[in-house]
Structure 1
Amino acid sequence: ALVRRAGALKGDEAAVRAPGRVEQVVARALAAAAELGADPDVVERTYRAMVAAFVDLELRAHAPGPPGPAVVLAPLRPGQVGELLTLQRAAFTTEALLHGEPALPPLVQTLPELEAEVAALSAPGAGAVLAACAGERLVGSVRGAVAGDAVDVRRLVVAPDHQGRGLGRRLLEALEAALGPGVRTATLFTGALSTANLRLYARAGYTEDRRGVVGGVPVVHLSKRLHP
């Protein structure tokens, strides 16, 4: 029964487009899991991963057609947080499939959690949250948290139909420039199996520091010297 309910998600466009609807879909799935005696944790992780996959498919549907408007980078506006959550889930679906972990933090983060994170990082001196927009559509983002003279680069995401165009590197460079000369080092980590990400970071000047495991996922820690 849960599999049939999951299949019905493909016809639920609201769940693909609105984070609030995603929470309603997950709540209904958990109620059904309780009735059927299924493990609620497994059900929630699976449903969130499936919703993210459908978001990915929805965004890929934009790929055909003539070139769109130029992509402009600017600080993320508060009204864009919901769209960022949708984009984040789409972008990290591939990572979840690649590493066999449907409960990656970017996929299970809730809208209130993301709103709080964006607000905190947008405070003076705390960091930055950047958005890449093609017209009114959010097609990329990156955020950084400053601690002392270092910035922790977080959740660089690019819409599937805008990947391979240098947007990821533009976002990284814009974040580095936005932080000022007092921030001397940038650090980040990515999945050890994410070869495309590793190539991007290498081209952007990041070098490997060490390897480890975060949340059961093998990762590579990298850093870049921004200022002497």
Structure 2
Amino acid sequence: MTGPADLASVRAAIDRLDDDVVALLARREELVRAAGRLKADGAAVRAPGRVEQVVARARERATAHGASPEAVERVYRAMIAAFVDLELATAAVADGVVVGPAAPGSAGEVLTLQRAAYVTEAQLYGDPGIPPLTETLEEVAAAVAAGTVLTATVGPRVVGAVRGELAGGVLSVGRLVVAPDRRGRGVGTALLAAVERTPGARRAVLFTGARSAGNLRLYRRAGYREERRERVSAGLELVHLAKDLPG
């Protein structure tokens, strides 16, 4: 096949193909969200067996079209990871989870959930005095009153929470917590997506400990990129991440 003769033409052809790819991804997202509404839980969404089938089929198609199977596999695994997060968020909504501003009077539930969630972090880093565990009820109530706290609820029960503080277009995200029995079911993903829709937010920033592998996986799948690392103490290194937002 004869291709474009100069770099500008090659780039223009790539741009046209990318337009087609994005249009197809938009259609795929619609189908993924529809699938999420039909699945029972996070395990059904992740479906590792189904993922491997999709990847194997993509490799076969790559070979048939003269493309690198290894390159296509890397692209597909990244794409699947991103769409799994979208599907998990949709599944959480379908599972009766409602995400919205924390209700007045919910500070006690939020603090109880926060302390339960951060105990494992404190154990991981050997520090029982981390701020989420030492924060007072009055401080949480003030955050709720200020409108910076979002909660995920199922009926009257709070099953997750997150905070977002906006300053100069930069949204500082923190205190993302999910009840132990609701983990792996899209609640964290749904909360993160909701706080990122804060009006006026153009960029989101957050941090987590370098040993918190689950947190790092969640944030990276959600589009956050590592910006820097900060050594706080001999046993604690913080990873600072950021993400540009559509707004």
Matched, 1:218 2:237: yes
Gaps of 5+ in 1: 1-68, 123-127
Q: Is the 8 A contact 1:101 1:217 kept in 2?
A: no
Q: Is the 8 A contact 1:157 1:168 kept in 2?
A: yes
Q: Is the 8 A contact 2:202 2:246 kept in 1?
A: yes
Give the Å deviation of 1:116: 1.8
Could you say which residue in structure 2 is the equivalent of 1:208? 226
- How is 1:128-207 mapped onto 2 (pairs within 5 angstroms)? 128-177=148-197, 179-180=198-199, 182-207=200-225
Give the Å deviation of 1:146: 0.5
> What's the % identity of the aligned pairs?
57
Could you say which residue in structure 1 is the equivalent of 2:17? none
Could you say which residue in structure 2 is the equivalent of 1:63? none
Aligned AA (1:111): L
Gaps of 5+ in 2: 1-94
Pick from 48, 73, 90: which aligns with 2:99?
Answer: 73
Could you say which residue in structure 2 is the equivalent of 1:96? 122
- How is 1:109-128 mapped onto 2 (pairs within 5 angstroms)? 109-120=135-146, 122=147, 128=148
**Distance in structure 2 (CA, Å) of the matches to 1:111 and 1:195:** 29
Secondary structure at the residue paired with 1:227?
A: coil
Secondary structure at the residue paired with 1:101?
A: coil
Secondary structure at the residue paired with 2:227?
A: strand
**Distance in structure 1 (CA, Å) of the matches to 2:194 and 2:232:** 27
- How is 1:17-56 mapped onto 2 (pairs within 5 angstroms)? none
Number of aligned positions between the proteins = 152
Q: Could you state the TM-score of these two structures normalised by the residue count of structure 1?
A: 0.64
Give the Å deviation of 1:214: 4.1
**Distance in structure 1 (CA, Å) of the matches to 2:98 and 2:143:** 23
For the aligned residue pairs, the C-alpha RMSD in angstroms reads 1.5
Moved over 4 A (4+): none
- 1:65-97 deviation per Cα after TM superposition (whole angstroms, max 9, x unaligned): xxxx61111110121110000000000011001
